[in-house]
Structure 1
Amino acid sequence: MPNCNTNCIEKPISIGFGKLGRIVGRYPWVFLISPLVISAGLGAGFYFLEDRESNNIEDQFTPKNGPAKMERAYVKEHFPQGEEFSSLRLYTDGTYASLIAVHSANILTEEAFQDVDKLDQKVKQIQAEGSQKTFTDLCAKDRDLGCVSNPILDIVNDHVTNGTPIAYPQNKTEFIGTAIGGVDLYPNNSVETAQAIRLFYYLEEDKKNETDLWLRTFIKNFSGSTAPENIFISYFTSISRDEEFDTNSKTVIPLFSVTYFLAITVSIMSCLRLDCVRNKVWVATFGVLSAGLAVLSSFGLLLFCGMPFVMTVATAPFLILGIGVDDMFIMISCWQKTNVKAEVEDRMAETYKEAAVSITITTLTDVLAFYIGLMTPFGSVQSFCMYTGTALLFCYIYNITFFGAFLALNGQREGSNRHWLICRKVETPTPDNNSNACSCSCSVGGAYDPETGAEEEMPMDILFRKYVGPFLTKPWTKVCVILLYLGYLAGGIYGCFQMQEGIDLKNLAPDDSYVAHYYDNEDIYFSEYGPFVMLVIRDENFRYWDKCAQENLNMCLNEFQSSDMVAKINAIFWLDDYKKYGDKESLDLSNETVFMSNLSTFLDNSGFKQDVNISNNKIVASRLFIPTTNISTAIDEKNMLNFFRDTVSKCWPNMDLMVYHPAFIYYDQYAVIVSNTIQNIVVATVIMLVISLLLIPHPLCSLWVTFAIASVIVGVAGFMALWDVNLDSISMINLVICIGFSVDFSAHISYAFVSSKKKTANEKAIDALYNLGYPIIQGAVSTIAGVVVLSAAESYIFRTFFKIMFLVILFGALHGIVFIPIFLTFFGCCSNSNSVQGEKDQTGNGQNLRHDHVELSGQRSNQNQNHSTFSSDSDCP
């Protein structure tokens, strides 16, 4: 029975690429210039960059169609903003500016309060640049009292002037827990000292253009102002998060030049040869240029198509550069395996026949990993995956066209034995001078192995064959490797249990941003009390006047009150005040007619008019507000959200309840981040397993590839948690990347072990490391060089990208060079001994087979080897 394995798929593709290589070698200028023209045309799409920029944090970092967004739509429809402004009743964060004034000792002294009062007057005198509108012109207004003020100022003024005690957190009818912070209390819960006061300045939401101008002027005024003595000021506005998030991308632009310099340097150093003819300096340079053209073309195309450009996409070029250089190494590696005396067309055909298949395989795994990321509900992840996946496709296309064309032109120069820099023809090496082909004057160049016709073996390959491989396969070394792996796995698993979920909003701004300072002060002084969560009764048939119905509702409220996350103060509920009103007016509110006929009068004369939706003399929906406490960390936010939603689902079964707060829009990420990350990883891993089964002859070794993927993911996820990286939409991107890179390293080394014709498992491991050890290091270093400058970025997003990419490459290379080769030696079934025996039977001469293999091994090694072609009859790694 014929053995239908990889060749069923690989051979036809290989033959097709061989024909393409011959065409590229015949018409190199066509394939060199065409990508340049295409890139110039598609690059015009960057004209639309500003229009496509989508740095709205809610759109990009919260789940699309999250529950809170549907809850917000319901609140907006049933409880529209009325004439009386109330920040408590907003269904969004609102349009506002905010100040936190912090005193080193006590802000409740008369002198300190005068400084705070001056700050308040300064804000109210700010005139918007361009429109000259002041706060009074744009402020959110109460129907009777004009601009909405800060009640805390009147309370503190009364305290410092008249000595009136300040009750905390509820001062008469005002809740001040979120307005005054860092408090020390007397035994009767009145404030003794306080360190901070927070002021809010709300603006009308229907004058967006004018209010945005005023808010930008507010930021400008306080960014350059000097605070009063002993007072530290931090400030924030409703547009600050988005605007500071937008500046993040600008902080990384200067790093691009450093990145390309490092990538070019690493590539040149990797391809540097002492032979003045076979030097691949210009080839490496054009390899980096090819990756740059891929970024230009792909990004331009997607910008033309209207794809949103999110700031996280700015990290993609670093990654694409590393992968592009990696593919370049494959092309050079296979080129150097060809006979240097053959025609360029023939050498290109042979190069493409071997290298293009390997590049296709690695591109397929990486692109699939990114396109699988499109399944996530986060816009930032979707944009990143679309831009990066498309750029990798262009990188692949330009590698086999643009870069291949230059490789052919460089081959013509090498064929005529010309100097790599000055193109002067140098002396052709002979058997007498071949070993000294590049003298100090470089008068001789173009050395090659006269037995194989390929370029000479490189020192790094000899290092792995003679020293590294034998060292790793010693019994005591294997024991150390196993212990090292168990330690690695234990650290990764431990880290996974320490993982934090969700993204801290302050991390979306640069490190030195005023936004970060504001959030820090908020955490220090105002974390004791959280938001007032809206509890909405959506049941149109709820009998508000019925005592049994009220008791059932109170039982539900008691469930909330029993939690440590709910403050021990009364909820703000219109029905409680209405019953007091009924007692005062001697109304029998247990009667439906009396209840409904007097309700409108009560609502008109109280602050609860926006809390009850009445239609056709029927209460369609109503709401109350539950105070929360001790919500200071991401875990607290997640637990609070889950508690509130679980509680309403368990309340009286005949009551339709809903909870909502504008912050829930951001908290929703906790509900989906883990499940979506696991979903993406599982789907991508299954697809990678299928590809491995198709391309690696031995099924058990395909399982080893899958094991390596899982092992690397566990390590990256665990150690990123220990490196202070949360599981959020940003790190989710990198975990998807992790799959593609771990496949690259593990699949190639596994196949090299399987396809080795050595007898023992140890010899197979040494042979695999001999062929792929240095190329794996090359690929790892080139990728790290593409992202290392991000470690210096003044942004959490870019530093996170560097941290996880560093872990991915480090652990992937560690598995490829150390763990997988050693583990495979314990399982001799991952071998092709049967096929080797079959070849011996057919040739009748095992000695000749081994002799041929020695010659082929000499051909397989060179400085730029980077991958193993998935073909059992291939000599190109």
Structure 2
Amino acid sequence: MSTNNDDIPNNRTILRKRNLFEYLFLKFNKFYESQFSTVGKHIGSRPYVFICIPFLLTGLCLMGFLRLNMNNNADELFIPVNSKSLRDRDIVAKLLPMNYDEYYLHQDYDFGLFGDVIFIAKDYGDIARPVVKTELERIYNLAQHVNVTYNNQTYFYKDLCAKRINTCVTEGDVFFRENFWKRLNDTELHKYMVNDLYTDDDGVPNLLTFIFGKNLKIDLDKGTLYAKTLKLRFNLRRTVMKNNKNENIEIISRMWEQAFLKFFQHFESIMIDVSYSVSTSIDQELENNVNLDMFLVVITFVVMIIVATICLSLRGPMSQSPAYLSAIGVLATMLGLVSGFGFCSLIGIPMCSLVFATPFLIIGVGTDDMFLIFSAYHRTKSSETTSQRLADTFRICGSGITITSLTNIIAFLVGAITDFYGIRLFCFYTSASIVFCYFYQILLFGSAVAIYNECISNNRHTLISCIVDHAQSPNTTRRRHRHRKQCLPWKEMFVYVITPLFTTCGQVIVCIVFLIFTISAFYGALQMRDGMKLGQLLSDKSYANHYFDKLDKEFEPYPLVHFIITEPIPYWRNDYMKRIRNLVKAAKELKGMNHKVEISWFSLLAYDPQDHPFDNGTEFIGILQGFVNLFPTFDNDLLLNSTHLLASRFYLQFGRVFYNSSDGYLVNQLRSLAEQSKLPIKGMKQIVVR
């Protein structure tokens, strides 16, 4: 007995707490129901006034399209904002700017401006055949004569190309050099080859697999070469030296890129297939996708109107058909979408290609609210006045449409704090569109429902309100109340299908299906891989997508990691050089790094600190200046003055690329090694866009 008495106070406490929460819930519920009831009453009494408000707001928001700013820069949209890679890239650009008169591709921190073309024989045979070589030489010469006119001056490739030793730098032009083929035929090419690197008379190493693809087969003993592909890169410059000043000519180089595209778009050959791209191809194709997206948006709205009309009008006589309500509901969604886009543009938020996925989300959210409102309307009493029915309608559905819209808005606003600028823009535009869609469904669709109810109450045709429905008898209201039709005609079908699931056998089947689904979901989640190639964002018919497909199939990416020593250090001291070499050794040993490739000035520099024990840097700088004259390739990697080496750079290479977080993990490992070296050094990987 004592135990039971002890339990009584606890039960009462729980009961009081439960009643307190229930009391607060009822109070809150009563408050928002009264608010929505008031809104519905006003809409029902003056529908023609409220129906104009969405159109006026949309007209104001349309002014924002005058300030529309389209951002299609793939680097800005799909690389995290303020990422370390971008910061390091800016540091490199300031310390070691590109020298377009002594240009080397591996030194370019962002791949620069270029026109790429991949040649493949139509029979997918050897491109080294004489007849194919002749055709490729013809195409190569034609491409070099592509020109543009700017300010009444004509510019050819030779006027805009990045140069080295006063010669245009075209990656892959070794294919057209006679001495390359002569050395191959004379079986002397091995004298110029080291680790697949062919060094020509200009002293510049050429990675043959970068030119001929990963399927290259070369027999140095027999003097034969077999390759199915040839890739050329026409490098362009951003600046040119005029009157001892750097003049920016990037706009002209961009124009030449477009002329390059047009040339190959209209190019035809009976022997050669070409795939081509330029530095801005992804940006341009993302912008072109907008036209396709707009067509799909129109199709989506039309289909949704048809589906909504069928759902709302399948039952009941034609004179009482709510067919036009479906069009009004979809119109409210469309106006909300336009208003959201216009509002964001008005306050200065730029638009990007990802934003055009928003209409497909908004059409779903908007039509959900439409069906909720119309379903709630059918639950009201038909004998009541229009204002009272609208008050009851919004009292019933107000919380539902508010909660669904509010949760969507919160979800997208949370998504707007992501580091990816493109996703951030998408979330801003979607959130704004949902807000406008929510209000427009209440004002516009609610007003349309009020007008619909007025037509029925006055025995008028709902589609053509000027026609009186004489088929309705005086007892129409009573009969309509007795045989009220549901919004959706499939209620009985759902009852028929769902009822067996509540039997013992049905419950067992449901549990088994749910268990299988859960196991499959977990398995799928474990198999999911992150990462994305930007080429996957392009249309299947895009020329750039075709180029990236060929690039993935025929070539392996060879991204380099730049290591930049950003401050002067005593390179002539043995302990500092030992730190640098230990860093290189540890980096090469990491899984995923190519342990064979190293491009570094200090590996070739004939300077041993032990041979110069009393050097304070003077001898080192003198030797380094002579080294640069002997190896001009490293001139852009060294920032020298008369007394100090202010900054320097060397390179290592990735052994594989996954285009996902594995690449980022390897870069972070390299950065960690750089920090552990206690040197003022930064590691930056070239961003591979595929």
Taking structure 1 as the reference length, what is the TM-score of the superposition?
Answer: 0.69
After superposition, the Cα gap between the structure-2 partners of 1:418 and 1:90, relative to the gap in structure 1 and judged at 3 Å, is same
1:498 to 527, 530, 533: 527
Does the residue aligned with 1:101 lie in a helix, a strand or coil? Answer: strand
After superposition, the Cα gap between the structure-2 partners of 1:198 and 1:91, relative to the gap in structure 1 and judged at 3 Å, is same
- Quote the residue 1:74 is aligned against: 91
Question: 1:494 & 1:472 partners in 2: Cα distance?
Answer: 27
- Quote the residue 2:493 is aligned against: 463
- Quote the residue 1:98 is aligned against: 116
Alignment pair present for 1:660 and 2:684: yes
**AA in 2 matched with 1:107:** I
Does the residue aligned with 1:534 lie in a helix, a strand or coil? Answer: strand
1:11 to 19, 26, 30: 30
- Quote the residue 1:140 is aligned against: 162
Alignment pair present for 1:537 and 2:579: no
- Quote the residue 2:212 is aligned against: 180
* Cα deviation code 1:772-829 (max 9, x no counterpart): xxxxxxxxxxxxxxxxxxxxxxxxxxxxxxxxxxxxxxxxxxxxxxxxxxxxxxxxxx
After TM superposition, list the pairs within 5 Å mapping 1:642-653 onto structure 2: 642-650=665-673, 652-653=676-677
Question: 1:481 & 1:187 partners in 2: Cα distance?
Answer: 68
After superposition, the Cα gap between the structure-2 partners of 1:514 and 1:456, relative to the gap in structure 1 and judged at 3 Å, is closer
**AA in 2 matched with 1:511:** D
1:43 to 53, 59, 62: 62
Aligned length: 639
Does the residue aligned with 1:481 lie in a helix, a strand or coil? Answer: helix
Question: 2:485 & 2:169 partners in 1: Cα distance?
Answer: 81
- Quote the residue 1:546 is aligned against: 573
**Shift, 1:129, TM fit:** 5.3
Question: 2:174 & 2:576 partners in 1: Cα distance?
Answer: 41
After superposition, the Cα gap between the structure-2 partners of 1:663 and 1:400, relative to the gap in structure 1 and judged at 3 Å, is same
Alignment pair present for 1:21 and 2:34: no
Alignment pair present for 1:372 and 2:414: yes
Contact 1:100 1:196 (C-alpha < 8 Å) held by counterparts: yes
After superposition, the Cα gap between the structure-2 partners of 1:30 and 1:369, relative to the gap in structure 1 and judged at 3 Å, is same
1:309 to 334, 345, 351: 351
**Shift, 1:189, TM fit:** 11
Does the residue aligned with 1:341 lie in a helix, a strand or coil? Answer: coil
- Quote the residue 1:758 is aligned against: none
Does the residue aligned with 1:333 lie in a helix, a strand or coil? Answer: helix
- Quote the residue 1:203 is aligned against: 236
Taking structure 2 as the reference length, what is the TM-score of the superposition?
Answer: 0.86
- Quote the residue 1:243 is aligned against: 284
**Shift, 1:222, TM fit:** 0.3
Question: 2:33 & 2:39 partners in 1: Cα distance?
Answer: 10
**Shift, 1:337, TM fit:** 1.4
* Cα deviation code 1:631-652 (max 9, x no counterpart): 3x324xx434422431341355
1:639 to 629, 648, 662: 662
Alignment pair present for 1:33 and 2:52: yes
Alignment pair present for 1:293 and 2:313: no
**AA in 2 matched with 1:379:** Y
Does the residue aligned with 1:93 lie in a helix, a strand or coil? Answer: coil
Contact 2:172 2:231 (C-alpha < 8 Å) held by counterparts: no
2:628 to 594, 603, 606: 603
Task: Please identify which structure carries the higher strand content.
Answer: 2
Question: 1:552 & 1:411 partners in 2: Cα distance?
Answer: 84
**Shift, 1:48, TM fit:** 3.5
Question: 2:521 & 2:614 partners in 1: Cα distance?
Answer: 62
Does the residue aligned with 2:102 lie in a helix, a strand or coil? Answer: coil
1:621 to 647, 650, 653: 647
After superposition, the Cα gap between the structure-2 partners of 1:414 and 1:624, relative to the gap in structure 1 and judged at 3 Å, is same
* Cα deviation code 1:344-374 (max 9, x no counterpart): 1111111121222221111111111111111
**Shift, 1:587, TM fit:** 8.1
**AA in 1 matched with 2:511:** I
Question: 2:590 & 2:573 partners in 1: Cα distance?
Answer: 27
After TM superposition, list the pairs within 5 Å mapping 1:754-833 onto structure 2: none
Question: 2:84 & 2:224 partners in 1: Cα distance?
Answer: 39
**AA in 2 matched with 1:349:** A
- Quote the residue 2:553 is aligned against: 524
2:514 to 471, 485, 490: 485
Contact 1:99 1:235 (C-alpha < 8 Å) held by counterparts: yes
2:225 to 192, 202, 205: 192
**Shift, 1:511, TM fit:** 0.7
**Shift, 1:265, TM fit:** 0.8
After superposition, the Cα gap between the structure-2 partners of 1:350 and 1:214, relative to the gap in structure 1 and judged at 3 Å, is same
* Cα deviation code 1:115-170 (max 9, x no counterpart): 2222221111111256531101111123x323224464267532434525544621
After superposition, the Cα gap between the structure-2 partners of 1:457 and 1:210, relative to the gap in structure 1 and judged at 3 Å, is closer
**AA in 1 matched with 2:620:** F
1:213 to 241, 252, 255: 255
Contact 2:321 2:463 (C-alpha < 8 Å) held by counterparts: no
**Shift, 1:340, TM fit:** 0.9
After superposition, the Cα gap between the structure-2 partners of 1:164 and 1:207, relative to the gap in structure 1 and judged at 3 Å, is farther
Does the residue aligned with 1:574 lie in a helix, a strand or coil? Answer: coil
Contact 1:277 1:446 (C-alpha < 8 Å) held by counterparts: no
2:593 to 553, 566, 571: 566
Does the residue aligned with 1:178 lie in a helix, a strand or coil? Answer: helix
Does the residue aligned with 2:652 lie in a helix, a strand or coil? Answer: strand
**AA in 1 matched with 2:287:** D
Contact 1:290 1:399 (C-alpha < 8 Å) held by counterparts: yes
Contact 2:640 2:646 (C-alpha < 8 Å) held by counterparts: yes
Question: 1:459 & 1:578 partners in 2: Cα distance?
Answer: 84
* Cα deviation code 1:403-425 (max 9, x no counterpart): 11111111110111222234322
Contact 1:275 1:447 (C-alpha < 8 Å) held by counterparts: no
Question: 1:189 & 1:641 partners in 2: Cα distance?
Answer: 43
2:141 to 96, 101, 121: 121
- Quote the residue 1:715 is aligned against: none
Contact 2:311 2:488 (C-alpha < 8 Å) held by counterparts: no
Question: 1:121 & 1:93 partners in 2: Cα distance?
Answer: 24
Alignment pair present for 1:425 and 2:466: no
Question: 2:643 & 2:72 partners in 1: Cα distance?
Answer: 45
* Cα deviation code 1:828-876 (max 9, x no counterpart): xxxxxxxxxxxxxxxxxxxxxxxxxxxxxxxxxxxxxxxxxxxxxxxxx
* Cα deviation code 1:3-28 (max 9, x no counterpart): 32532322111101111111111111
**AA in 2 matched with 1:178:** F
**Shift, 1:270, TM fit:** 0.8
Question: 1:482 & 1:188 partners in 2: Cα distance?
Answer: 69
Report the RMSD for the aligned CA atoms in angstroms: 2.7
Question: 2:436 & 2:345 partners in 1: Cα distance?
Answer: 15
1:449 to 442, 459, 481: 481
After superposition, the Cα gap between the structure-2 partners of 1:459 and 1:195, relative to the gap in structure 1 and judged at 3 Å, is closer
Which stretch shifts more, 304-313 or 622-631?
Answer: 622-631
**Shift, 1:430, TM fit:** 7.0
* Cα deviation code 1:296-341 (max 9, x no counterpart): 2121121122211111111211221121111011111111111111
Contact 2:128 2:226 (C-alpha < 8 Å) held by counterparts: yes
Alignment pair present for 1:342 and 2:384: yes
After TM superposition, list the pairs within 5 Å mapping 1:566-605 onto structure 2: 566-579=593-606, 588=612, 591=615, 592-605=617-630
- Quote the residue 2:12 is aligned against: none
**AA in 2 matched with 1:81:** M
After TM superposition, list the pairs within 5 Å mapping 1:221-236 onto structure 2: 221-229=263-271, 231-236=272-277
Alignment pair present for 1:64 and 2:81: yes
- Quote the residue 2:433 is aligned against: 391
Does the residue aligned with 1:579 lie in a helix, a strand or coil? Answer: coil
* Cα deviation code 1:484-511 (max 9, x no counterpart): 1111111111111222222212112211
Q: List alignment gaps of at least 5 residues for structure 2.
A: 1-15, 239-247
Does the residue aligned with 1:478 lie in a helix, a strand or coil? Answer: helix
After superposition, the Cα gap between the structure-2 partners of 1:171 and 1:245, relative to the gap in structure 1 and judged at 3 Å, is same
